[in-house]
Amino acid sequence: MSQRHSSGYLLTTNSEIYRCVGQPMTVIGLWATNVSGSTRQWYAQHVPADASPSDEFSLAYDQTLSAKGATQITTPIILHSGEAIYARASAVDSIVLTLYVVTFADYVAGSF
């Protein structure tokens, strides 16, 4: 099993946060933290391979975070090769998104 994480400030346009390449991966946690002094909204999408980001793929749509507030999605999200997580916020430099991903390729390959 291997673990990876990605973290950064969201932009006001849909931006790719993480893309699966190769073996299927599981997003085990997605955390959004509002580091600003004002209430902000955030959006996240699970976008299929060869698709463009769209609100129809929403994991979180128009979610409100109070100043200095945080929230999380802990429902596992399976990503297959080419699928990606995209996200955006209502203002730049306000929402930090962190996600943790695990792969089980070592277990599946029998290398334990």
> Mind listing the pLDDT tens digit for each residue in 11-28?
999 999 999 988 899 999
Q: Which amino acid is at 71?
A: T
Predicted model pTM: 0.87
How many Cβ atoms are within 10 Å of 42's Cβ, its own excluded? Answer: 24
- pLDDT one-digit tens code per residue, 47-97: 999 999 998 999 999 999 999 999 999 999 999 999 999 999 999 999 999
Fill in the DSSP letter of residue 93. Answer: T
Query: Range of 70's domain?
Result: 2-108
- CATH code, domain carrying 92: 2.60.120.340
Tell me how many domains the chain contains: 1
User: What is the pLDDT, as a whole number, of residue 110?
Assistant: 47
User: What is the pLDDT, as a whole number, of residue 1?
Assistant: 62
- Token pair, residue 51, equals 């698709």
